[in-house]
């Protein structure tokens, strides 16, 4: 059974809220870290920590951007009217799957086969 308008509206709201949240987080992450310009050797260790933090920020940002593109993709599918349809086998993704993961583009079976 295809999703009705009310259900799609429900997921659309969830996706838009998630999208806004992710965009906010990405914006916060992209603020460049402030590096100490002092050459004091007692601060070297602290500096290393700062660099390390910047590194983890980058990968966190990548994860967020990846999630954001999934959400944008799902919203795009909503516009085209094929939201909730598995991209691999074309069956309708169950309501239960979409409820836990509104940006999902694969049905439960294909997801399992993908090992995701
Ligand atoms: Zn499938």
Q: Tell how far the Cα of 4 is from the centroid of ligand 1, in angstroms.
A: 20
Nearest Cα neighbor of 93 from 82, 103, 108 is 108
Q: Tell how far the Cα of 114 is from the centroid of ligand 1, in angstroms.
A: 10
For the chain, the domain total comes to: 1
- Statement: the pTM of the whole predicted model exceeds 0.75: no
Q: Tell how far the Cα of 6 is from the centroid of ligand 1, in angstroms.
A: 23
The enclosing domain of 16 has a CATH number of 1.20.120.910
Q: Tell how far the Cα of 80 is from the centroid of ligand 1, in angstroms.
A: 19
Give the Cα separation of 84 and 98 in Å (integer): 7
List, for residues 9-68, the tens digit of each pLDDT value: 999 999 999 999 999 999 998 777 666 555 555 556 666 676 666 666 668 888 999 999
Give the Cα separation of 91 and 110 in Å (integer): 10
Note down the domain range covering 18. Answer: 5-114
């Amino acid at each position: 059974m295809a999703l009705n308008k009310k259900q799609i509206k429900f997921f659309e709201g969830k996706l838009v809220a998630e999208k806004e949240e992710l965009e906010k987080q990405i914006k916060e992450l992209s603020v460049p870290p402030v590096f100490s310009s002092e050459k004091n050797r007692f601060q070297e260790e602290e500096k290393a920590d700062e660099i390390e933090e910047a590194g983890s920020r980058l990968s966190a940002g990548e994860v967020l951007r990846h999630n954001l593109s999934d959400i944008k993709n799902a919203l795009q599918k909503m516009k085209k009217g094929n939201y909730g349809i598995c991209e691999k086998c074309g069956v309708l993704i169950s309501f239960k799957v979409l409820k836990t993961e509104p940006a999902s583009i694969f049905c439960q079976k294909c997801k399992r086969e993908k090992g995701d």
